[in-house]
Structure 1
Amino acid sequence: MTLTIRPITGLDELDLFNRLPYQLNDQIATDFAAGRRHAHWLWVALRDDRLTARVAFWSRPGDPEPMVIDVFDVDREQDLDDGVRLLERALSTVRGRPEFTRFLPPDWRADPGPAELRMRAVEALGGRLFVERLRLHWPATAPLPPSRGRLTFREPHGADELIDLMTRVMTGTLDAHGRDELTRRPAGEAARAQYHEELLRYPSPREWWRVGELPDGTPAGFVLPAHNGYHPVIAYIGVVPEARGRGLVDDLLAAGTRLLAEQGVPHVRAATDVGNTPMAAAFDRAGYRVFERQIDMVWS
């Protein structure tokens, strides 16, 4: 059987692309409308009319280059080579090599075969596991996280204050992406880039963002409730180094969750690295539960 590797022609071939199951299938058409995907970013490998592998890139709305590979599937073990060849061809058409990210069941290691098949294909092209993350869910039917009243909350006093706080919380960060970013540029530069390239692009009001102050008016940290275009989220939360060790992250997380709950949202989503055990514990105390895991792979 002849192997054909090509991008899809458009939404008319979305059913073909979605022959392999994954939870993101249902949102791909919406992503097209929002400018997060384009037909030339969705690739298929075909043996006659059988879909043996597929790849999709994703970006924030309007970006000219993709940010991540968020769909990569190989149908069967014997299709691994097709998957490698497809991935290599698709990567050759974009700038750089976007990170590969995949959502997995919480207990994925009980049946690791499907995930490991994708990982082997990525590794064949020089990829490696970068971090595993916990994806967290708080349902609006759950009790609100308790507020201990140790902090008072207000909106940030403009971009400069928030960027300064973001810069400070990067000291000693346990976040793998943050630590990696610090190997390439100073904390202030990284914080400013994240503020402008990520945080300002959330479609939700910036008036939701909160700085938590100690009784003497000193900022202890911040929490940024937001909507990412799919779900209400805790986009960012941080405690400045000198205020750590007091459990103040619980107050910040409670404030962010309560603010979103007041908007009438059905749930709140969040994520943290498996290795960031203090943050994972804070989410657990607040009633967030792990509903998925996520693996991120980068290129050596």
Structure 2
Amino acid sequence: MSTPLLFRSMVFRSTTDADLDRVTAVTVDEPVGWIAADRYLDELKEGMYRPEWTWIAEDGDRVVARALWWGQATAEHPVALDCLYVDPSVDDRAAVGADLITAGLRAFAEQGALKPPLYNLTLPTGWRQDPAAVAALAWRHEAARAAGLTDEVERLRLEWTPDAGLPVAGGRLTFTEGSDEEFLDVFRRIAVGSLDGETRRNLDAMGAEATAREEVDFYLGCPGERSWWRLARTPDGRVAGLALPSATPYNRNVGYLGVVPELRGQGYVDDVLAEITRIQVEAGAELITATTDTDNAPMAAAFARAGYRVTQTRMIYSVPEASRTASVPAS
């Protein structure tokens, strides 16, 4: 267990097995995504939640705040903060939330994590019209930014189910397997001019080569099979883009798709998305998930044409790429 951190009269620390009942007793009644006890316990057994990745703030004998970080079962470090809760009785929920996030991030860095986990906050669609959702986001937004997670992206979560029907491919592209180096080259090319917020930030901070390498390494580490990956080619054999069907521990997903800059604007994205959907369906998928930035209107429109519907909005907070080697701010 990490050394407890003191702030005001509170103690911020990671948990032990002895804290399990107190951790699972926390409930969230705000309209944001949160982790209920049954899911926490199930994924605790699988190693996707862990006592050392679960942090609490105590005021005397009361648990007044809880942060649940998640990672893949085989991971050494967590990749995302899934749930942040501060009791409504706390005077400054944002300040306590910021200190709890900061304590966790500092501990993970001390344990060798090279990349600070992001904060993934799920909201209902149309959340801006719900005052309760706006209020639930407000203090969490302030807490995340005060803890150094100042890069902010709003993303749509989408789903395809069989009732939508298979999207119709245009028949203009063929899809072939390829080597890691071929995929790396296409990742490098499609990063240029991308409307994806994270890709743009990584490109500015690291350049095309490192951005492409990070993408390839990420998808190689996902639960999806490498054999699913396809290069998209025009009839004359030119590479038009790539299709990476993938998976999470929960669902099959779209993974990654892109079209090279010189062929954008010709509708090829529809063919690539149709191919990913076809591969997943032929493998037996009854649900395919996807995400895209709200700013990426062309991609959102392509998903809509393919029968994917928006089910959630996510606010993603992360440490800016250029600041990831810097120390976590002190409380």
TM-based fold match above 0.5: yes
Report the RMSD for the aligned CA atoms in angstroms: 2.3
Residue of structure 2 equivalent to 1:217 = 237
Map 1:255-266 → 2, pairs under 5 A: 255-266=275-286
Deviation at 1:47, TM superposition (A): 4.0
Seen in structure 2, the aligned counterparts of structure 1 residues 77 and 221 have a Cα distance that, compared at 3 Å, is farther
How far 1:225 sits from its partner (Å)? 0.8
What's the CA shift string for 1:96-137, capped at 9, x where partnerless? 643222111112212300111211222333443521111111
- Which of 81, 93, 102 lines up with 2:107 in the alignment? 93
Equivalent in the alignment of 1:24? 35
Report 1:65-80 matches (<5 A). 65-76=77-88, 78-79=90-91, 80=93
For residues 75 and 293 of structure 1, the distance between their equivalents in structure 2, rounded to whole angstroms, comes to 24
Tell me, in whole angstroms, the C-alpha distance in 2 between the residues paired with 1:168 and 1:106.
Answer: 33
The CA distance in 1 between the partners of 2:45 and 2:56, in whole Å, is: 21
C-alpha distance in 1, partners of 2:307/2:34? 24
Amino acid at match of 1:206: R
Which of 228, 231, 242 aligns to 2:251? It is: 231
User: Structure 2 counterpart of 1:148, which letter?
Assistant: G
Displacement of 1:11 in angstroms is: 8.3
- The 5 Å alignment of 1:146-165 reads 146-155=168-177, 157-165=178-186
Asked if structure 1 preserves the Cα contact closer than 8 Å seen for 2:23 and 2:66, the reply is no
**C-alpha contact 1:225 1:233 (8 A) present in aligned 2:** yes
Contact kept in structure 2, 1:17 and 1:44, CA below 8 Å: no
Change (3 A) 1:97 1:222: closer
Query: SS of the counterpart of 2:83?
Result: strand
Which whole-Å deviations, capped at 9, do the CAs of 1:155-201 have from their partners, x for residues lacking one? 2x2111111111110010111111111122221222123212x1111
Does residue 123 (structure 1) correspond to residue 145 (structure 2)? The answer is: yes
SS in 2 for 1:93: helix
Aligned AA for 1:57? W
**Does structure 1 residue 56 correspond to structure 2 residue 68?**
yes
Tell me the equivalent position of 1:43: 55
Task: Give the TM-score normalised by the residue count of structure 2.
Answer: 0.82
SS at match of 2:107: coil
**2:20 matched residue in structure 1:** 13
Name which of structure 1's ranges 200-209 and 130-139 shifts more when overlaid on structure 2.
200-209
Paired residue secondary structure (1:212): strand
User: Quick one: percent identity of the two aligned structures?
Assistant: 35
**Deviation of residue 272 (structure 1)?**
0.6
Of residues 47-56 and 33-42 in structure 1, the stretch that sits farther from structure 2 once superposed is: 47-56
Whole-angstrom distance in 2 between the partners of 1:201 and 1:85 = 31
Measure the CA separation in 2 of the matches of 1:240 and 1:130.
26
Give the CA deviation at 1:50.
4.6
8 Å contact from structure 1 (residues 74, 117) kept in 2: no
Name the structure 1 match of 2:5: none
Q: How many residues align?
A: 298
Evaluate the alpha carbon distance shift between residue 23 and residue 127 of structure 1 in structure 2; reply closer, same or farther with a 3 A threshold.
Answer: closer
Q: Which amino acid aligns with 2:79?
A: M
Equivalent in the alignment of 1:106:
125
Say whether 1:166 aligns with 2:200: no
Measure how far apart 1:23 and its partner are.
4.2
Change (3 A) 1:213 1:11: farther
| Structure 1 residues not aligned, in runs of 5+ | none
Which residue of structure 2 lines up, in the alignment, with residue 180 of structure 1? 201
Structure 2: unaligned runs, 5 residues or longer: 1-8, 110-114, 321-331
Q: Which residue in 2 is equivalent to 1:189?
A: 210
Q: Which moved more, 1:129-138 or 1:198-207?
A: 198-207
Report the CA distance between 1:206 and its aligned residue. 1.9
Contact 2:34 2:83 (8 Å CA) reproduced: no
Distance in 1 (alpha carbons) for counterparts of 2:19 and 2:57: 17
